[in-house]
Structure 1
């Protein structure tokens, strides 16, 4: 049986397997090299985060705060009957627009109020003070322009006579008694002049006091008349004092709207001193007063713009700005959160469509 050499084919098979393995390994490395990007082109994770963080920090979300509130006039002016009386005529109605100086109502003073007016208008204090001042001025004028010059003339005459008599005495033409007599007359005349000058000073002081009293009386009268004219809305000058003093009026002090008329303020009603008959207020611009929780208050500031939607006028939006943010809370109790009443000023009230006391929602956009 022939013998075959099997060692050689085995060596060839092993060599072929090694070569095939090397070829597979090289092919795998080549494939990895082709599919993978170069290492220098790969961004490190840290720079990528650094690029994203500033973008997140700069982005601020907008928050809309909704507040409930009511409309109010910026201020209100009460119309008061400062002196009691009987209502004769009411010339306006609630909601009516009025101008400053318009007559709102007419009434007549009751007897007690009329007596008070009469005592002011017909007072004699000014006339009495004026007469006292005139008397003091006349007395001073007599002393300064008549009595003092006469006294000075008499004094000068005595001085001349004394000078002449002394010359004659030097010539032994008269006795010493004559000189002595004139000297005594001179002393008396000088004393009378000094007393007269003192009297003049006292009269000047009296005139000064009389002038002060007159100025005070006149000032008091003028102020009292001005007060009556302001209270009763009618003149009380010298030409008007003969007119019916019972007549009085209520007039509007400002341009605005009659917000309210007291139900008791009717014709023929007798009302007391200080009775509040009406309330007048401007309706453009208006305030919206809102209740704000402390967590929302810190996000608001004066001047922030907002949008107002009234419950009764949902189809319209009105612009406003925050006009006042209070520093103190409405409820200081420790066991409850704080809330505040802020005020927003409406830009306009076209046609007076917004009334006093209308409820609304205020929307304020703020940055978180």
Structure 2
């Protein structure tokens, strides 16, 4: 990998790693790769995944921000010093993902130069994404926010009316070995601030020993925080093999008609699993499962709860989540963003009490123990001799 600055130009040579799904791409990205994505309105979680991979350059076949709603991802990436480029819309070609994955390439003078071998090169023009460009799109998105919200509400109510009967019926009963009746249950989704919220709730988890449910990548979030999930619920598209093999009970979320794309993956790994056909999102199913297993309290971390959350996931409404949360409301505590509510602060008074607590047993030993008292007298005499 070669990275160097020229006068008024940016040059970067490396291997392109490409995928239609950013979350899958980030699993195989290294810090010296050029990331090629096809992700309109890059969300904050996708940006964090790219940051964690350590990449310096990201090329997007779609606009980082379309102006439909204020997506946070591009801002986060630019603030982290990552160079962003877009392929002009007139040159958009979805097949570029397959064509360029694994190719050696160079970015120079806003051109992506592909080394095809035997001295042949292919050149694709790029458009550098600046903070000014993103700010203009941000203002555009905020101007149209009311209209976007109106459409979102209409979609939510329309689908809620169609799907309400599906959620009134109980889920299929599963022979789970994990008992949730009369226990607290923590449902973890890899959404905004999930790491900080998990850290904030560490004392609660340690004291109450709740059942820990990871929704897809939420299982990895639990393991990164030092916990082992009791259950993993989801369509298995973003959870790691390590999490699936950690010993947790696995519930594969299937469509209401029984189709389950994630079933093949757990079968290939040879791990036992339960199949649960149900409407809605996997996090909705996880909450419903805890509710129907008679959990005393359901605490959610990182779940999707507002319009921006759902638009970032490509959903134009939140009918299933609205119905599920309305159904289980009395048992539900949403801990999303709890880390922003209160951060414990150290004060001088607290430091003083800690110092006093440490010095008290030392003072007591000097008063009671003659050997310690004699040693203290010798040190005092030595100090006076040195001082004077």
Q: TM-score range by the shorter chain?
A: under 0.3
TM score, norm. by length of structure 2: 0.17
Bigger relative CO (Cα 8 Å, ≥ 6 apart): 1
Identify the structure with the greater strand proportion. 1
- Normalising by the residue count of structure 1, what TM-score does the alignment of the two structures yield? 0.17
Larger C-alpha radius of gyration, 1 or 2?
1
